[in-house]
Amino acid sequence: MPPTIAIDGPAASGKGTLSKRLAAHYGFAHLDTGSLYRAVGLSVLWAGGDPANPEMALAAALALTPESAILVHPGLRGDDAAQAASQVAAVPAVRAALLDFQHSFVAQPPGGKGSVLDGRDIGTVVCPDAPAKLFVTASMEVRAERRVKELRGAGQDVSLQTVLADMKARDERDSQRAVAPLKPAVDAFVLDTSVLDADQAFAAACAVVGAKIGPV
């Protein structure tokens, strides 16, 4: 099995940026697993359905392929997609369908060298045997400020109070769901990026990952 780097953490913790940099550094394929759930949730919304509806969510998950255009749609970065993703992620059958998707990616990563997966249950459920695991986090306030900056940069008019409330609600759903709750794997290194810039977080991650899988 090609080596895998598992990266988990809540929204706006910095795990996405960090995962992409690690993938480029090691020459590994990268998979933002959150985009899978966002795509499923957005598909249901576009069909006029409720993302919390198990049947509709499962149908959207089963229709998803690596070539699906929705996986690169700009709408995936919006807050509607984020909230819908959290709802479909609570459906066990959806998680099972997307787990198959992720296992296939890990077994045969594009390029064949290895993979970096980021999400919320990579180290605990998707790749529990991954040699390198990180749980990236930051304070709620810092994460909300980062999210507001991202959304405003995309042209969305949002308030910090609204984003903070949505983030708290999502964290509560993700951490308290019965299936694959958001939490660090017991053998994951917890990296708090609250006071770190992107370069500092990357340096810290490289030190941890390098000790597990070796240099580039």
Interval 91-109: pLDDT, tens: 999 999 999 999 999 999 9
Q: Pick from 176, 205, 185, 3: which is nearest to 90 by CA?
A: 176
* Mean predicted lDDT score pLDDT of the chain: 93
Q: What is the pLDDT of residues 134-193, one digit of tens each?
A: 999 999 999 999 999 988 988 888 999 999 999 999 899 888 887 788 999 999 999 999
**Full-model pTM:** 0.86
Asked if residue 27 lies in contact with residue 111, where contact means CB atoms within 8 angstroms, the answer is yes
For residue 17, give the amino acid letter: T
Q: What is the pLDDT of residues 29-47, one digit of tens each?
A: 999 998 999 999 999 999 9
Local structure of residue 5 (DSSP, 8 states)? E
d(CA 13, CA 208): 17
- DSSP per-residue letters across 16-34: HHHHHHHHHHHT-EEEEHH
> Would you kindly state where each structural domain of the chain is located, as residue ranges?
4-209
For domain 4-209, the CATH class is: alpha beta
| Chain mean position to CA 10 | 8
